[in-house]
Amino acid sequence: MARQIREQRSRNPGIPTKALQEELEQKLQISVYWMKAFRAKTQASTDNKGDFHTQFSLLRDYCEELKLQNPGTTIKIEVERSCNPEATTRQFKRIYVCIGALKEGWKECMRDLIGLDGAFMRGPYPGQVLTAVGVDSNNGIYPVAFAVVEAETRDSWTWFLECLGLDLELESHYNFTFISDRQKGLIQAIGNVFPSAEHRYCVKHIHENMKHHWRGKLYKDIFWRCATATTVPGFKATMAQMKRLNVDAYNWLRKIDPQHWSRSHFSGRCKSDMLLNNLCECLNGQIVLAREKPIIGCLDFIRGYLMKRIVLIQKVIDKSKGPLTPAAMDLMKVIEKEANECKVTWNGGVKYQVNAPWSDQHIVDTDQMSCTCRKWELSGLPCKHAYAVNWDMNKFGRKVGKIESWAHRCYWLDTWMEAYSFKVNPVTGTTTWPKSTCPIGLTPPIHHTPVGRPKKKRKRGLYEDEPLSKEGKLSRKIHFGRCTQCGNKGHNARTCKGQPGVTNAGVNNNNQQARSEAGVNLCY
């Protein structure tokens, strides 16, 4: 029976205990108690995933195998301090991994932007998985490094950034660009390790904090216009609208330096106008199962995902045609439609005046490859004004190449191919791993059992679940329903604890009144 349970667990890891019990009874024609099936399922899970405790003693061997199969890989393990210097074991604290192929491939992407984020580990040894994710030529994610640390603190983020800077050859004075959700200790860590770096804040998280005080479509629209403004005058004009709407909201936004969240104050070094930290969110969504595995299982799951992802992207690259990547070509088609409404005037030199609807007038410099709207500088793709100038130059026989040649090299298909030419190699099984020569063994960190039932779903925002859907219909979350026992809101008769409130006789009248106020018929 144990063998069959292990096979079933490998085929369907998420099978419920009740379903497993019924399947065993049908196959074996015997009666199986629920607790026996539960214990067998737990043992089979341990056999498949590995033991949480014993994998720490094999961690150094796995690291040796990973570095052997993937040359250039950097792995750093840090342990807790011990009062006994002669002890042969140390408690595990944190580990950092940067696979050599990803390190070299990221450098070929030619975009100095990295997103930083953390996600909780699950299991008997809680911790955090820190990730550093870049952007490839197709505006997709390009994971660079990851680490498992004890907690998300300034010390752990500083250690992670120092390791990352050494791997990617980032000097402390380097004008790099990071984007994050303003995690605990991360702002101070970036300021200490990379004082000259540009640090962007995820605009979605800023808006979530803003909604605690000022909600509504009007606040949201003005806020996002401030964030997407590409020029300083445009930003100031939109902020003036916010001030006229609500002075308190205006003062609250002014406390956050616009260089962290508005495109008007961004530099064009990284050739990306990204405002959201979706890079790490995408990666965290793919490694959810890794975070509930033992330490080696977690690291190898992430390595396996990165290996398979390169293969999938390579298949897309082989089918792609054209000078630019598919995502860049789609953006260029949108820009082309907008350029049809532009009118170009040449000054006889290298500058052009471009007029667009709604008093949109800018200057394009073909020598500096720039436009005063700054969209070309921020994204690396020519804006609609540059598009119109390219048409005008071709129309009058001036020397100019195709509009695709005006795009930054990071969007070229050849750059995309070069970045994914570096492959992550597989590793062998446990029995063939080389033995580590380090005399200090590793033991698990301090065991800590979290309070409450382990959570599987992500934490949703405070105002993420709105009572009305996009179509304007009432959702299942109804605010008008009342308990039929006590008449109070917030629960039903099944969970009623006899709270004092409206009498039963008045419940139907209250419910009828609530339905009339809502203007719809609610079905109970």
Give 51's pLDDT tier (boundaries 50, 70, 90).
confident
- pLDDT of 368 higher than 50: yes
Give first-to-last CA distance, the chain, whole Å: 46
- pLDDT of 59 higher than 60: yes
Give 33's pLDDT tier (boundaries 50, 70, 90).
confident
Share of the chain above pLDDT 90, in %: 63
CA proximity to 198, closest of 106, 269, 279: 269
- pLDDT of 123 higher than 90: no
What distance in Å separates the CA atoms of residue 128 and residue 149, rounded to the nearest whole number?
A: 5
Q: How far is CA 20 from the centre of its chain?
A: 35
Q: Which of 72-86, 277-291, 470-484 has the lowest mean pLDDT?
A: 470-484
H or E element, residue 343:
strand 343-346
Q: What's residue 305's pLDDT?
A: 96
Give burial (CB, 10 Å; 0-12/13-18/19+) of 512. Answer: exposed
Higher pLDDT, 514 or 237: 237
Q: What integer is the mean pLDDT of 134-140?
A: 95
- pLDDT of 135 higher than 70: yes
Half-sphere exposure of 502 (CA within 13 A, CB side): 14
What distance in Å separates the CA atoms of residue 361 and residue 5, rounded to the nearest whole number?
A: 70
- pLDDT of 262 higher than 80: yes
CA proximity to 293, closest of 52, 10, 5, 53: 52
Work out whether strand 360-365 and strand 351-356 pair parallel, antiparallel, or are unpaired.
antiparallel
Q: What's residue 62's pLDDT?
A: 96
Output the average pLDDT for the chain: 86
What distance in Å separates the CA atoms of residue 222 and residue 215, rounded to the nearest whole number?
A: 12
Q: Residue 296, Cβ neighbours under 10 Å: how many?
A: 20
Question: Is the distance from CB of 436 to CB of 62 less than 8 angstroms?
Answer: no
Give 475's pLDDT tier (boundaries 50, 70, 90).
very low
Give Cβ neighbours of residue 476 (< 8 Å, ≥ 6 apart): none
Higher pLDDT, 333 or 468: 333
Q: What integer is the mean pLDDT of 453-466?
A: 64
Give Cβ neighbours of residue 511 (< 8 Å, ≥ 6 apart): 480, 481, 482
Give 521's pLDDT tier (boundaries 50, 70, 90).
very low
What distance in Å separates the CA atoms of residue 196 and residue 165, rounded to the nearest whole number?
A: 13
Half-sphere exposure of 100 (CA within 13 A, CB side): 10
What distance in Å separates the CA atoms of residue 319 and residue 313, rounded to the nearest whole number?
A: 10
Q: What's residue 14's pLDDT?
A: 66
Q: Which of 30-44, 65-79, 132-146, 163-177 has the lowest mean pLDDT?
A: 30-44
CA distances from 5 to 14, 33, 43 (A): 12, 14, 9
Q: What integer is the mean pLDDT of 54-76?
A: 95
Work out whether strand 128-135 and strand 141-149 pair parallel, antiparallel, or are unpaired.
antiparallel
What distance in Å separates the CA atoms of residue 356 and residue 223, rounded to the nearest whole number?
A: 24
CA distances from 440 to 87, 252, 314, 437 (A): 8, 52, 41, 9
Q: Which of 82-96, 238-252, 260-274, 467-481 has the lowest mean pLDDT?
A: 467-481
Q: What's residue 397's pLDDT?
A: 83
The dihedrals phi and psi of 285, each to the nearest 5 degrees, come to: -70, -25
* Buried residues in 457-494 as b, exposed as e (16+ CB within 10 A): eeeeeeeeeeeeeeeeeeeeeeebbbbebbbeeeeeee
Q: How many residues does this entry show for the chain? A: 524
The token pair at 164 is 């990352």
What distance in Å separates the CA atoms of residue 323 and residue 412, rounded to the nearest whole number?
A: 6
Half-sphere exposure of 366 (CA within 13 A, CB side): 23
Q: What's residue 82's pLDDT?
A: 82
Give tens-digit pLDDT for 308-364: 999 999 999 999 998 999 999 999 999 999 999 999 999 999 999 999 998 899 999
- pLDDT of 127 higher than 80: yes
CA proximity to 335, closest of 305, 371, 286, 301: 371
State the Cα angle at 136 between 153 and 164, rounded to 5°. Answer: 30
Question: Is the distance from CB of 415 to CB of 108 less than 8 angstroms?
Answer: yes
What distance in Å separates the CA atoms of residue 522 and residue 524, rounded to the nearest whole number?
A: 6
Place of tokens 């405790």: 53
Q: What's residue 64's pLDDT?
A: 96
Q: Which of 212-216, 414-418, 482-486, 505-509 has the lowest mean pLDDT?
A: 505-509
Q: What integer is the mean pLDDT of 205-209?
A: 93
Q: What integer is the mean pLDDT of 499-504?
A: 55
Give 518's pLDDT tier (boundaries 50, 70, 90).
very low
What distance in Å separates the CA atoms of residue 170 and residue 394, rounded to the nearest whole number?
A: 42
H or E element, residue 104:
helix 100-109
Q: Which of 6-15, 184-193, 296-305, 483-492 has the lowest mean pLDDT?
A: 6-15
* Buried residues in 103-128 as b, exposed as e (16+ CB within 10 A): bebbebbbbbbbbbbbbbbbbebbbb
Q: What's residue 472's pLDDT?
A: 43
Q: What's residue 514's pLDDT?
A: 41
- pLDDT of 434 higher than 80: yes
Give 47's pLDDT tier (boundaries 50, 70, 90).
low
CA proximity to 231, closest of 373, 369, 361: 373
Q: What's residue 366's pLDDT?
A: 93
Give 5's pLDDT tier (boundaries 50, 70, 90).
low
Work out whether strand 89-98 and strand 441-443 pair parallel, antiparallel, or are unpaired.
parallel
CA proximity to 273, closest of 414, 376, 125: 376
Q: Helix or strand or coil: residue 211?
A: coil
Highest-pLDDT range among 32-41, 76-85, 401-410: 401-410
